[in-house]
A = this chain, B = another copy of it.
Amino acid sequence: MSSTVSTLRRNSVAQAITEIAELIGERLSTSQAVCDQHGDDLTWNAGQPPDAVAFVQTTEEVARIVRICGHYEVPVIPFGTGTSLEGHISAPFGGVSVDTSQMNEVLAVNPQDLDCTVQAGVTRKQLNEYLRDTGLFFPIDPGADASIGGMTSTRASGTNAVRYGTMKDNVLNVTVVMPDGEIVRTARRAKKSAAGYDLTRLMVGAEGTLGVITEITLKLHGIPEAISAGVCPFPDIPSACEAVIATVQMGLPVARIELLDELQVKACNAYSDLGLAETPTLFLEFHGSDAGVAEQSEMFGAIAEEWGGGPFEWATRTEDRSKLWQARHDAFWAAVDQMPGKSASATDVCVPISRLAECVTETRKDLDETGLYGPIVGHVGDGNFHISLFCDTGDEREVAVCRAFLDRLAKRALEMDGTCTGEHGVGSGKMKYLEAEHGPGLDVMRTIKRAIDPKNIMNPGKIVTV
């Protein structure tokens, strides 16, 4: 950037900031600490700070800020809780971070329609706390207590997507401020519609590159009458995966089916002295009636036995269930405990379930040969698995080894007709894989981005470059 252009740009940013400050006063911050915190996510990739952070309170305010930023061609970066994992909130071109944490109202709950409307800053735990007395819950659980806006923007899912779907399946409509400042509600509250292009699904997973999501209408689900949870060790990865496939094929409506590999089980044993068999292990949960969850648990026990797994221990009392699932709940921190001083990053490839055993086995071999520490935890009912990859980020050689491993992992998943990201999103971190994943489809994405955001102000440098 020449110095004249750079000066012009700085002036534009300064003018935009002045106008936004006139609009929202002290809720606009340019403090270095606040800006740094808003550019940095949970990974070991360094984020870049925005020039300012706007703590917004209404959709109309967001629209006015976007118009100001559009006028000065200043980037707008939506911010929820900062728990994303691929640099979504980083501001490589500076600009204004739009922090939605003060937009944290549940606007409506419609128990008869099993839906609710929330502001983007409401977190999933806050929502479920709010719903507690209604007998309803919002199931999507990506681990972190993320904002609903952020979860929508990254097309998040998590442990119980195998039963309840991902954000794509649970968002009825969004209110979104478009790059020109128009406020668009993408659909009505009807459960289905065939009235034109699916703008809702276009915004879900667009990572703020097509607009700022300010309100979301979500599907809710009835809290199940009964829950059973269980744990089942298997002799190896393929037998555990075969049991998963058989479970899904039989149509058992499993709510969660999680794999911990041997290394992860070892870490959990070391962390909490659990005494689990140190072998690949499935953690399951069933939702239904008392009779239903018992029937399902027993059917799974029979499937597991057929594939050499067992004993399958299961329980329905909350206390007993928590005990059985402790290893799964603590998995990440157990791994962290094994690698003091190193930084963790979580991968999330997803492959057709028929290729899962092969993909996990090859990846384990790759990790072992490369000498990297990476326990595996998988949402295996969807063919999706995570490696908690540990890296000494001060050691350039180790960073390079990790990055090369991540490239091989993405390539492996793509060769199996899978995706480089099952649930974390693209951000800036996975842009390099999209050409291989989408081919000419990437040009279609670029065409859409250019048409909807011709000035490229919405979260630039994420998903596609234009």
Contact = CB atoms under 8 A, between A and B. Distances in A.
Contact of A196 (B190, B196, B199, B438): B438
A184 B351 CA distance: 20
Interface of A: 110-115, 135, 154-157, 161, 165-166, 168-169, 178, 182-199, 201-202, 204-206, 210, 221-222, 224, 245, 248-251, 253, 289, 291-292, 295, 348, 350-354, 382-384, 413-414, 417-426, 430, 433-434, 437-445, 447-452, 463-464
A194 B187 CA distance: 21
Given A439-B184, A448-B451, A206 B197 contact: yes
Contacts of A168: 192, 198, 201
Contact of A190 (B197, B351, B443, B444): B351
A418 B194 CA distance: 11
A328 to B, nearest CB: 20
Contact of A205 (B196, B251, B384, B449): B196
20 contacts: A168-B192, A168-B201, A184-B438, A184-B441, A184-B444, A185-B441, A190-B382, A194-B425, A195-B425, A195-B426, A195-B433, A196-B426, A196-B463, A197-B210, A197-B448, A198-B205, A221-B251, A222-B250, A291-B291, A444-B452
Given A189-B352, A190-B383, A421-B193, A444 B199 contact: yes
A142 B423 CA distance: 32
A197 B446 CA distance: 10
A418 B248 CA distance: 34
Contacts of A166: 192
A402 to B, nearest CB: 21
A447 B441 contact: no
A421 B194 contact: yes
Nearest to A463: B196
Q: How many copies does the complex hold?
A: 2
Contact of A182 (B245, B350, B443): B443
Contacts of A169: 165, 169
A117 to B, nearest CB: 11
Contacts of A424: 194
Given A291-B295, A447-B451, A450-B451, A196 B352 contact: no
A202 to B, nearest CB: 6
A193 B110 contact: no
B437 A188 contact: yes
Contact of A353 (B135, B191, B221, B437): B191
Given A113-B352, A188-B414, A182 B440 contact: yes
A201 B167 CA distance: 13
Contacts of A112: 245, 249, 352-354
A438 B190 CA distance: 13
A445 B353 contact: no
A28 B279 CA distance: 62
A438 to B, nearest CB: 7
A90 to B, nearest CB: 17
A193 B204 CA distance: 12
A194 B161 CA distance: 13
A150 to B, nearest CB: 12
A165 B352 CA distance: 21
A208 B434 CA distance: 25
Contacts of A417: 188-190
Contacts of A444: 178, 184, 197, 199, 452
